[in-house]
Amino acid sequence: MKPRVRFAPSPTGHLHIGGARTALFNWLFARHTGGTFVLRIEDTDVERSTKEFEQSILDGMTWLGLDWDGELVYQSQRLELYKQHVQKLLDCGHAYRCTCTPEELEAKRAAATAAKQKPKYDGTCRNRPADPSKPAAIRFKAPQEGTTTFHDLCRGTISFENTELDDLIIARSDGTPTYNFTVVVDDVTMQMTHIIRGDDHINNTPRQVLLYQALGYPVPEFAHLPMIYGPDKKKLSKRHGATSVFEFKDMGFLPDAMLNYLARLGWAHGDQEIFTRDELIQHFDLYKVHSAPAIFDMEKLRWVNSQHLAKKSIEEIVEGTRPFLEARGLTITDTAYAAKAIGSERERGRTFVELADASEFYFRDDVNFDDASVQKWLNADGKVLLQKIRDRLAPLESFTEASIAEIFKALVAETGLKMVNLAQPIRVALTGTTVSPGVYLVLSILGKDRALKRIDRALTLAT
């Protein structure tokens, strides 16, 4: 049987980077092996689940290009199936009714904690006759001795003492099933062969293995992925900055770059850093997933993104940057001009947002002047130099880098000034700052009319 794997998010929040990495590893495993990748929405938490979060998750998966096989599966549409399996465990003696009240359970936990014992259920209702007149939760009757062992594809053999496991609730007193139970029922009835998920689920696994065995179902293979930590080596969270997939989209990252970077969080193929989507599918090996936590490094992600951007055509770069310029109220009307303008900043822009930031001045005649730059380079002496440059540029018929360069070389010879003393006043006049591509290139891209208008505006600035 070819592998069948699933990604099973709860629609209680946006698609998180950790969830996206889990989805990616499942998707890569399925595509590498010719298996099936299922998307299951675990929406039984009615109070916290929303359609908005569900759509956000689906949109995030679509943006990343993680296509799933077959129809979406919803836990909320499978409640009758869970009830049948609860009854099956009751009928075969592997489950029992628990009528302990929440207050009684809290008192038991407090007593266990005070006695420095693990606060697990003490089995009060385990062997006493059920009272059908009282509301009751259904508990799984776990073995009280021996060990539960499973093989993890990323970590090897893992064992738990059964004395550490309590009789978990599989259905609440209102009849709603609980997570550990629904997951088992779903995975076996959907014929999942491999369960690939975060290692925060390791403690759930022995409980689920016991449920598989009690129901008489085959136990699937498990692979628990390493956690993703921030630079402080703590679990990645909002305090580290962006964590949802769409935050990275809004920051101007490419979906293929995100996949590349996420795949390298816990997995490697030799020393290769940059992968196409097809290369990830070709080389992915679940047995090469590390067990140590992975560190999320934003600078490394920006570098990976820059490598993917470098492979894009200038037309693709322009179209990718367009919405981020439009968000600033700027419109691309001349694509040939935009290609030259944005293309001049390709080396500086590692994301579409950075490209928009760097190239914005090309599309804004009323450039925003940096006060410190104006004070330093457009003072009285600077304006004298700027006027000289304008007077030389205005008569030029061929406004090319080469012809512009000749003018500046002549001015350097005439004035005895260094090139920086001539370049910085014109750079500030054209861009508002002292950082830009070479002034010859900027002038040639802007063209004579735009350039002279900007110089004239700069000459009127108060300093």
Active site residues: 238
Phi, psi of 318 (to 5 degrees): -60, -45
SS (H, E, C) 427-438: HHHHHCCCCCCC
- CA distance linking residue 250 with residue 79, whole number of Å: 37
Cβ neighbours, 10 Å, residue 270: 7
Pairing of strands 194-198, 221-225: parallel
- Residue 126's Cβ-count burial label (10 Å; 0-12, 13-18, 19+) is middle
Cβ atoms of 142 and 168 closer than 8 Å: yes
Closest CA relative to residue 43, chosen from 75, 72, 15: 75
User: Which residue matches tokens 């990343």?
Assistant: 64
Distances (CA, A) of 374 to 1, 425, 426, 460: 71, 8, 11, 12
Element (H, E) at 39: strand 36-41
- The torsion angle over the Cα atoms of residues 261, 266, 269 and 270, rounded to 10 degrees, is 110
Q: Are 430 and 455 in contact (CB under 8 A)?
A: yes
Number of CB atoms found within 10 A of residue 124's CB: 14
Instruction: Please spell the DSSP secondary structure of 265-325, one letter per residue.
Output: SSB--TT-----HHHHHHH--GGGB-SSPEEP-HHHHHHHHHHHHTTS-HHHHHHHHHHHH
Q: Which of 120, 121, 128, 143 is nearest to 97 (CA)?
A: 128
Residue 437: name the closest of 362, 329, 381 by CA: 362
With contact defined as beta carbons under 8 Å apart, do 44 and 75 qualify? yes
The single residue listed with the structure tokens 């598989």 is 212
Cα–Cα distance for residue pair 124/128, rounded to 1 Å: 8
* Residue 142 DSSP code: -
Whether the Cβ atoms of residue 309 and residue 350 lie closer than 8 Å to each other: yes
